[in-house]
Each structure stands twice: as structure tokens, then as C-alpha cells.
Amino acid sequence: MIAPDLRLLLISNSTVFGGTYLGHVLPVIKTFLSGTSSILFVPYALKDHDGYAARARSAFESIGVELSSIHQASDPVAAVEAAEALFVGGGNTWRLLKAIQDRSLIEPVRRRVRGGMPYIGSSAGSNVSAPTIKTTNDMPIVMPASFEAFHLIPFQINPHFLDPDPNSRHMGETREERLVQYLEENDVPVAGLREGAWIRVTGGQAWLEGTTGARIFRRGSEPSERVPQDSLADLF
């Protein structure tokens, strides 16, 4: 059962190969945000907040949405309370989550999004929409107080999901092997979102969209494939 008010757009990656920043999803974002004229940006996943906010502002302005960045707000919690919509950008998931926790934003964001505020996440911003960041690909460059994140959805996301390369001579674990290890320790399903894929949750429904599909991992089952336009309601 998906709450009819829940509005999420969870994007695997902000830039596809050869594309521009958010270029492959701007039409979708425009539709998703219809009726919304402004958005609050969370730039904490990258070190250069000003530069990151400028890049995001330029993309959103091109679809007629005014963007302000939370790092320029004197009171970040108040900024969340006042926001029309939220966009959490990609980068390093650990740096992002620690900054969110340090500013006591978990509860306010969760409450606002559960109350119907549209949430857009890309890459690390999609990771933090899950119960925990235990399925991030990122290097743990800083230690957050806990691995618990916004928990806007009841399953995990692995963004930038990568199929094994049959020609690789590299002996590090494949992405699938890493996710199987995750399921050895945790009984929560994972959606491996390939680059170019995203999840849209609106009107009490959840859809896989984009061009590349997703691979679903559940404890005790073989991984299964989903193709664009498949429902993901069974993960809720």
C-alpha cells in the first residue's frame, strides 16, 4: 500500500554518458513538479556547495522552477519546513548523510515528504531515500552517527547499478556479489537501478521508468529483472 500523497522521483544518476547535467530527466522532473514553482536543493554530497547549487539552479531554471540551496539558509530545518519541494543531489553518500544528521534534518524531511512534499533524489540523493545507506557504492570518507536515512520507501536502492563485465580481469566483487553480501546480513529488498533508470511514485503507484531497467534482489530468491514501465508496487 503506497500512500496516495507520496511523491518521489528517485533517479539512478544525474548525468548519462555524453549528456548534460539532469538532461535525460528534465522533462520528467517538469511533469513531476507541475503546480510547483520552487524547490529546495540539498548540495551536501559534494564539497563545493556554491558551485553545485549554481549547476542545479541552472537546470531547474530551464524548466521554470526557482531553486534555493539549503546551505545558504540560516536555519536549515526552517527551510525544509517552508519548502515546496526538495531535490537532494548526488555525490558522496556518507558526506551527504552526515551533513543531514548534523543539521537534524532526518525527521523534518521525513515528515514533510510523508505529508506530500515532492522529493527528487539523484544517486546519493536516492540512496538516502531508503531505510539505510547500506547499499551505497561510495567510499566511507566520513562517519555518520548511524547508517539510517530518510526511510521514505521500505526497500533499498543501489544507484548506478552495473552488470558484470564478461571481459573484465578485475577480481574485486561484482555489484551483484556485493548486494548478495548485503542480503546475507539484511532482509530488505534492493532495487539495483541502472544508469538511465528512475523510480516515480505518484498517485499511490510506483513505476520503473527510463531506458535501462532494474534488477531486484531479495533474500532467498534469485535476482529478477524489471523493464521500463513495470510497476514496482510489490516492493512497497
Active site residues: 123, 138, 160
Q: Are 47 and 168 in contact (CB under 8 A)?
A: no
**Whole-number Å distance between alpha carbons of 113 and 90:** 19
Binding to a copy of itself by CB under 8 A, coded x per residue (else -) over 101-140, reads: --------------------------------xxxxxxxx
- Does residue 95 interact with a copy of itself by CB under 8 A? yes
Binding to a copy of itself by CB under 8 A, coded x per residue (else -) over 4-43, reads: ---------x-xxxx-------------------------
Q: Are 151 and 109 in contact (CB under 8 A)?
A: no
> Which residue among 33, 44, 49, 195 contacts a copy of itself (CB under 8 A)?
195
Q: Are 205 and 231 in contact (CB under 8 A)?
A: yes
**First-last CA distance in the chain:** 6
Nearer to a copy of itself, 33 or 197 (CB): 197
* Alpha-helix residue ranges (DSSP H) falling in 13-103: 26-32, 49-61, 76-82, 93-102
Nearer to a copy of itself, 95 or 112 (CB): 95
Nearer to a copy of itself, 47 or 111 (CB): 47
The piece of 51-59, 114-122, 142-150, 205-213 that touches a copy of itself (CB under 8 A) is 142-150
> Which residue among 184, 187, 220, 229 contacts a copy of itself (CB under 8 A)?
184
> 185: Cβ–Cβ under 8 A, 6 or more apart, which residues?
none
The amino acid at residue 190 is V
> 20: Cβ–Cβ under 8 A, 6 or more apart, which residues?
none
Residue 218 exposure: Cα atoms within 13 Å on the Cβ side: 9
Q: In the complex, which residues of this chain contact a copy of itself (CB under 8 A)?
A: 13, 15-18, 47, 91-92, 95, 133-143, 146-147, 160, 162, 169-173, 178-179, 181-182, 184-186, 195
